[in-house]
Amino acid sequence: MQLPAHFEYQRARSVEHALALLSRHGPEARLIAGGHSLIPMMKLRLAQPELLIDINEVPELGGIEITEDEIRIGALVRHTQLLDCAEVGRSAPMLHDAERVIADPLVRNRGTVGGSVCQADPSEDLSGAFSALRAVADIAGPAGERTVPMRGFFHGPYQTAVGPDELLLRLRVPLPAPGLRTGSAYRKVSRRAGDWAVGAAGAAVTLAPDGTVAEVGIGLTALGAREFVATEAEDLLRGQRPTPEAIDAAGRAAAQHCEPVADQRGPVEYKRHLAGELTRRVLRDALARAGGR
């Protein structure tokens, strides 16, 4: 039987209360919401916090709000809540694409969006999606609130910009100006349904009135892309017409500049192939949704 080491438990009533508990107990305290990553680590004694701070009842961390300029997603929003929000599906369909392939209904019902991105697992689906969408993270700490772009949020596997005395408040996804054609999409290859990704990609495309690519974001998951982003592929497309040749070149750039590692899910060359092929496919999907093809 796998049992965690002894720990204390406290329920935070507000963001301020949670921050006070983190400050008082230092690095030996950990926040818990869904617990799908932390609890298994505790059972294996890979994590042995002295205090668990339950933030499930902190009201400031919940809810989805959509304005003319952005989508605001509270850190405590469950995967199922995000998937069930029709307006999110219309404004950022990539997020629904990604949510549909995360684990299983049990995990999606309990797991949180904030917990997923803060875990920063290289194979985690939402990290690549939010990076492609150029989302930003609002973080609270002893010095107040600060905002970090998702493209600066990930500091490496299982490492983020959120300090040990801070917590993630929300993620904000910018929306294009009214009148511009935009589309996004996400695709994943896994060994079986609900499994971690062998490789995945997401793309968000905004077209200028003349049909050229005004802005593009390409995220790669489990494929060794720095900060989950295929920057070189984006640079090739921006300002260009999204022709089949341009899309193919972007796929080659994504494959060339990622640094996958061989593991039980596949060798390096196979993962590079996935990076290129998935990039091409999600770009075509995003353009179709934008009405650009």
Domain locations in the chain as residue ranges: 8-54, 59-174, 181-290
Domain 8-54 has CATH 3.30.43.10: yes
Radius of gyration of the chain (CA): 19
* CB contact at 8 A, 172 and 70: yes
Q: In angstroms, how far is the first alpha carbon of the chain from the final one?
A: 55
Q: Which of 226, 206, 68, 99 is nearest to 150 (CA)?
A: 226
b/e per residue, 61-91, with b = 16+ CB within 10 A?
bbebebeeebbbbbbbbbbbbbbebeebbeb
Q: Residue 254: which H helix or E strand, with range?
A: helix 244-257
Distance CA 221, CA 190 (A): 11
Query: What kind of fold does domain 59-174 have according to CATH?
Result: 3.30.465
Could you say which DSSP state residue 128 is in?
H
- What pLDDT, in 10s, does the model give residues 151-163? 999 999 999 999 9
Query: What kind of fold does domain 181-290 have according to CATH?
Result: Enolase-like; domain 1 (3.30.390)
Q: Which of 204, 136, 198, 202 is nearest to 171 (CA)?
A: 136
Per the DSSP assignment, residues forming a β-bridge with 206 are 182, 215
pLDDT band at 103 (very low <50, low <70, confident <90, very high): confident
Full-model pTM: 0.94
Sequence-separated (6 or more) residues with CB below 8 Å from residue 92: 71, 133, 173, 175, 184, 204
- What pLDDT, in 10s, does the model give residues 48-89? 999 999 999 999 999 999 999 999 999 999 999 999 999 999
| Count of other CB atoms within 10 angstroms of residue 221 | 30
pLDDT band at 105 (very low <50, low <70, confident <90, very high): confident
Q: Which of 286, 270, 281 is nearest to 224 (CA)?
A: 270
Collapsing DSSP to helix, strand or coil, 180 comes out as coil
- What pLDDT, in 10s, does the model give residues 129-151? 999 999 999 999 999 999 999 99
Give me the residue label for tokens 């990039």.
279
